[in-house]
Chain A
Amino acid sequence: MTTVHAELSDRGPSPEKERAQRDELVTSHLGLAHQLARRFSNRGESHEDLVQVASLALVKAAERFDPDREIMFSTFAAAGIIGELKRHFRDRGWAVRAPRRLQELLLEIGSSADRLGQELGRTPKVSELAKAVGASEDDVLEALEAGQSYRTSSLDARDREGQSMAESLGSEDGGFGHVENHSVLSFAMEQLSPRDHSIVHMRFVEGLTQSEIAARLGVSQMQISRLLAESLRRLRVHFDMQDESAHH
């Protein structure tokens, strides 16, 4: 039994001490979260996202762990983390199994949307995109929905000017943090990576459209669309997990 295990078994630790012990439990098992996230790599989800899912599951496991049960925390946490990773894939199963034709159409739509946007001087409509790629509006809408989960390019993929989105965003939070008010939104945004934080900030604090954010960062509107949707889902999961732990 580790020191933390032993201390958690003590009767009646103060809430502060208990919190510190659980934090230590999480910190000392972050490697486990990374290791399990790696096992689920190469299935269409970024490693960064999987680590985030696994880490949240680890925190949840620490909250639920009962040291009186004769089970190692690592065993208990691993089961919870694997369950959460599986649930992550299952919840996104519809898009992950989308057929190849949608993936190909999505790529076509991405490049056509950018070109049309420049030609028209505004964001294109679905009917204009459908005409440009020679598909029905239904097919375009279906592909756009699938695009919410597909990774057409990674964060570090080079755009046409050879600059990655990570570089466009700058480091850390881009200096935005200090201008936000103390709303739930700003609190929730702290749960996001610097990249996602910046994008959510531009959309919901600065009020830029997705196309304007894309232009500012030199990436496609579809990438911003997917990242925004993912960020909002992640925030929801964060609150849901807190909510669940409040019931245990």
Chain B
Amino acid sequence: MTYREPRTSEYEVIEVSFPGSVEFVVLARFTAATIGARAGFDLDEIDDLRLAVDELSVSFGPLDGETSLRFEFFRDGDTVSVRCTREPAPGAPGESPPERDVINWQQARELSEQLLEELVTVHGREIANGRSVAWLKKQREAGKA
């Protein structure tokens, strides 16, 4: 886990990396909840963020322990952003392994996207530096300051 010095008092970045197994996702959920609390999220918003982190963790396929996940959490005032990057396992070739591409997995991914629509302000997927990345941004609701 890496903690970087904040750019301002309102800006923080935390990174967490772990093997892509379900038992480690609690680390990402806990970090998200901590950052959400610092952003002034209420319990509902923190729970939504935790569920959204679960969805990000399975964005690239079922967690099988064969890859690593790197989570980056950013807080900027009342907004929390999360990026989840799928990394090859240590010793594996540099490129991300291909994502599972079967009908059921496409459905699972579509389900995740529908859930994220409701849980966060905005979300997306992209390829960055040859790695698959899923990301989200959640802003505290107006009037909940």
A residues adjacent to B (C-beta < 8 A): 90-91, 93-94, 113, 122-127, 129, 137-138, 141-142, 144-145, 148, 183-185, 187-188, 203-204, 207, 209-211, 221, 225, 228-229, 232-233, 235-236, 239-240, 242-244, 246-247
Task: For B64, give the chain A residue with the smallest CB separation.
Answer: A240
Quick check: is B47 within 8 A (CB to CB) of the other chain? yes
B111 contacts the other chain (CB 8 A): yes
A67 to chain B, nearest CB (A): 25
Residue of A with least CB distance to B22: A91
When the two chains form their complex, are residues B111 and A122 in contact, meaning their CB atoms are under 8 A apart? no
CA distance A187 to B41 in the complex (A): 31
Contact residues of B: prevailing secondary structure: helix
Quick check: which of B25-33, B83-91, B131-139 contacts chain A, the rest being far away?
Answer: B25-33
- 19 pairs of residues in contact across A and B, judged by CB atoms under 8 Å: A94-B23, A124-B43, A125-B41, A125-B42, A125-B43, A126-B37, A126-B41, A141-B30, A144-B46, A145-B26, A145-B30, A188-B107, A188-B111, A229-B51, A233-B54, A236-B62, A239-B108, A243-B108, A244-B62
- Contact among A91, A94, A184, A243 with B62 in the assembled complex (CB-CB below 8 Å): A243
B-chain residues with CB within 8 Å of residue A239 when the two chains form the complex: 104-105, 107-108, 111
Inside 8 A of B47's CB, which chain A residues have their CB? 144, 210, 225, 228-229
Q: How large is the interface on B (under 10, 10 to 19, 20 to 34, 35 or more residues)?
A: 35 or more
Interface hits, B20-73 → A, CB 8 Å: 22-23, 26, 29-30, 33-34, 37, 40-48, 50-51, 54-55, 58, 62
The answer for the CA separation of A244 and B118 in the assembled complex, in Å, is 28
Shortest CB distance A141–B (Å): 5
The 4 closest A-B pairs by CB, nearest first: A239-B108, A126-B37, A123-B42, A242-B104
Q: A211–B30 Cα gap in the complex (Å)?
A: 20
**Which residues of chain A are within 8 angstroms of B110 by Cβ–Cβ distance?**
183-184
Mask of B82-125 contacts with A, CB within 8 angstroms, 1/0: 00000000000000000010111101101100110010000000
- Residue B144 interfacial (CB < 8 Å): yes
Inside 8 A of A235's CB, which chain B residues have their CB? Answer: 111
Residues of B within 8 A of A211 (CB): 43-44
- Interchain CB contact under 8 A, B34 and A145: no
| CB proximity of A92 to chain B, nearest CB, Å | 9
